Structures are given as C-alpha cells and as structure tokens.
Homo-oligomer: A and B are copies of this chain.
Amino acid sequence: MTLMDGHPRVTTLKDVARVSGFSTSTVSRALTGTGSVDPTTRERIESVARDLGYRPHEGARLLVTQRSNVIGVIVATLEPNRRIGHPFLRELLDAVRYSAGEGNYDLLLLAGHPDESPEHYVHRALSRRVDGLVLLGIDRREVDRGGREVRELATVGVPTIGVDLDIRSFGPWFGFVTADNAGGARLAVRHLLELGRRRIVCCAGSLDTPPGRDRLDGYRLELEAAGALYRDEDVVVGDFTEGSGYRAMRQLLSLRETPDAVFVCGDLMAIGAMRAIAEAGLSVPGDVAVVGFDDVEAASIVRPALTTVRQDKEDIAGAAVRMVGEMLRSRDDASRHHVAGVELVVRASTVPAG
C-alpha cells in the first residue's frame, strides 16, 4: 500500500491516536464511551476523529467484542429462493427494518443463490456472526429439513425468532412471535354475525402454517360460541394466493345454500374471492359480505375496500427484535413467546344484511 495508491487508506484508530497524541487504548475508550477519560482528552480526540473522518471498523470490532450488532433475516419465498411470496412479508420486512434501527441494529438480508437450501442461509448467518436471526414466514418443513443446522444455531447461542413459525421445541434460544390469529378470526366472524349474516362460510389458508390453522380455529370457535353451526363443507382451503381465493370462492358459491358472508383467511385470497363473487353475478357487500385478514396495502385500495383484520406489524417486528436483545442479555424474564395485537378494520366490503 503506497502513498500513490488510488485508495487513500481509510482512517484507523491508530491514525486518530497518532494525530491526537494519545494511545490507541485511550482513543478507543474515549470514542466508545467505556472506561473513564479526561473530558478535555475526550473532546480533543473526538475532534480529531471528526476531522479525519474516522469510521470504526465493525469487522475488527466484532472480532474482539463478539457482537456484530447485526440481525439476520430470512424471508420465505414462493418458489425456492425467488421472489418473496406475499406482500404481507414485504411489509413486515420493512417493519423489522425499522424496529432494528430503533434497537441500533442493522439488518442482514440473507440472500440466496437460486439453488441454495436453508442450511446455506444458516451457514451465512453463522459466518457473519449475526447477533440474532429472524425468520419471516418460513415453512416448518423447511426448518425440519435443515434441522442439523438449525440446532447448530442453538449450540452457538444465536437467538432465533420465528414469525408465524413455532420452533421453540428446538431449545431455549428459539422464540415465537405471531399475531392473535384465532382472536382476529373471531373478531371477523363476530362482526359478520352482528351484521345479521347467517350463512358465513370460510376460505382458509394453508393448514400447515400456524396462521392458517389458528384462523380457521377462530372461525369455528366463534360460530360455536354463537350457537351457530360449523360445517366442514363450508370451508375450502387455499394457499394465501389471490388465485386460490378465487377458486375457493367459486367452490363455496356452488354450495346448495348460497352464503351471505365469507371470512377469508388472507387479504390476497379475499381479493380473489371478491372477483369470484362478482363473476358469479353477485355483489359485495350486498349479496355477500367479505372479511379478509392481514390488512396489506392492497386491502384499502381495492373496490369495494376490504374489511379486514389488521395484524400489528410494528408490534410483531418490535417483539422479534426485542426478543433477540433480551435473549442476548440472557435475562431470565426473556419471554420466548409473543402474541401481537389484531384489530378489525371495517371498510366497504361488509354491511348489514339487507
């Protein structure tokens, strides 16, 4: 590295030490705020650091502190390693980004080759020494497939939080965050009942995900609590995509007794369901009232605007990040489970039965 090098060597702690006339240890203490330094000294050092444009080298720091201040994130993709599968996950990722910032973390979005499997992600997370890992919408079966590697996370002690994915059985380093899916579903169904709807059917989401299962449970529970009849034929299972909602609704509309309301376990599916209803020559909300789940951006944009159960994304993201921090500090009160709030957002897709 010569002076003629095109890259003017970046300023290091040593440079700050040399110019300010103090030792590297003093400079380190002054700049990190650990240990005690004379106020005058500190000022002098800070000023020199500023003038030189000093940027601490996080890699070097990590080497000794064992803390990267980085949280890794893995987001479920629809086809393996392609696009993120659902707008809700993109919105949630954004919320995590924001929460991470509040906790002074940066986010490492683990990217993947087209043909990488889960263990690769874990490897990368481990290699980068992330302080914690957040799994967004990952399928349980995928986790099991990478079981060996996932267990390794626990061995090394990386707090790992599953959002809509319960892997607490893997050990104490695993946390679980989810919205109150069952409660939200009950809110939705109750709303429809209060509107005077009597034939409430359900378009469910994939039953091998916690949200898929819990929302369907909520639907059943609320019907039963109201003394209404739950029937298996009234439920068709989709996979959270618009297309599956459309198909499910077509099927539901062909039931002997036409429904006057439908609880759809995801907004995208609900939008598909509305399309099916319109095509069948029926109207929303007049003939069929529709309630979705998630409150993605599109829900407030479609016409009629979709009544839906909003998941508190900020709460979910905040809890995930907070859990990482707590587990890192090994606090006894580190909760490993958080149920985020839900809220019914009434829009135009539901009105009282006519």
Contact = CB atoms under 8 A, between A and B. Distances in A.
A155 B7 CA distance: 7
Please indicate which of the listed interface residues A70, A107, A127 has the most CB atoms of chain B within 10 Å of its own CB.
Answer: A127
Interface stretch (A77-85, A136-144, A257-265): A77-85
B94 A57 contact: no
A254 to B, nearest CB: 22
Nearest to A128: B58
A113 B108 contact: no
Contacts of A123: 55
Nearest to A271: B301
A84 B301 CA distance: 17
Contact of A156 (B10, B87, B128, B301): B10
Contact of A302 (B60, B63, B302): B302
Given A84-B94, A301-B302, A302-B303, A101 B127 contact: no
A301 to B, nearest CB: 6
Interface in A302-350: 302-303
Contact of A82 (B10, B98, B110): B98
Contacts of A155: 8
Contacts of A87: 87, 90, 297
| Copies of this protein, total | 2
A230 to B, nearest CB: 30
Contact of A298 (B10, B56, B90, B298): B298
A127 B11 CA distance: 11
Given A59-B60, A63-B57, A90-B91, A111 B116 contact: no
Interface string A73-114: 100000001111001001101110110111011111111111
A129 interface: yes
Nearest to A126: B55
Interface string A49-74: 00001011111101100001010010
Interface in A193-243: 242
A278 interface: yes
A106 B83 contact: no
Given A98-B81, A101-B112, A127 B303 contact: no
A152 interface: yes
Interface in A13-58: 53, 55-58
Interface string A116-130: 100000011011110
B90 A156 contact: no
A109 B106 contact: yes
Interface of A: 6-8, 10, 53, 55-60, 62-63, 68, 70, 73, 81-84, 87, 90-91, 93-95, 97-98, 100-102, 104-114, 116, 123-124, 126-129, 152, 155-157, 242, 268, 271, 275, 278, 297-298, 301-303
26 contacts: A6-B157, A8-B156, A53-B152, A57-B63, A57-B129, A58-B59, A59-B60, A59-B128, A81-B98, A84-B97, A87-B90, A90-B90, A90-B91, A97-B111, A101-B112, A101-B113, A101-B116, A104-B113, A106-B108, A106-B109, A106-B128, A107-B109, A108-B109, A109-B109, A268-B301, A275-B303
Given A57-B63, A83-B95, A275-B303, 15 more contacts: A8-B155, A55-B123, A55-B126, A55-B127, A58-B128, A73-B109, A87-B87, A90-B90, A90-B94, A101-B111, A102-B114, A106-B108, A106-B110, A106-B111, A278-B303
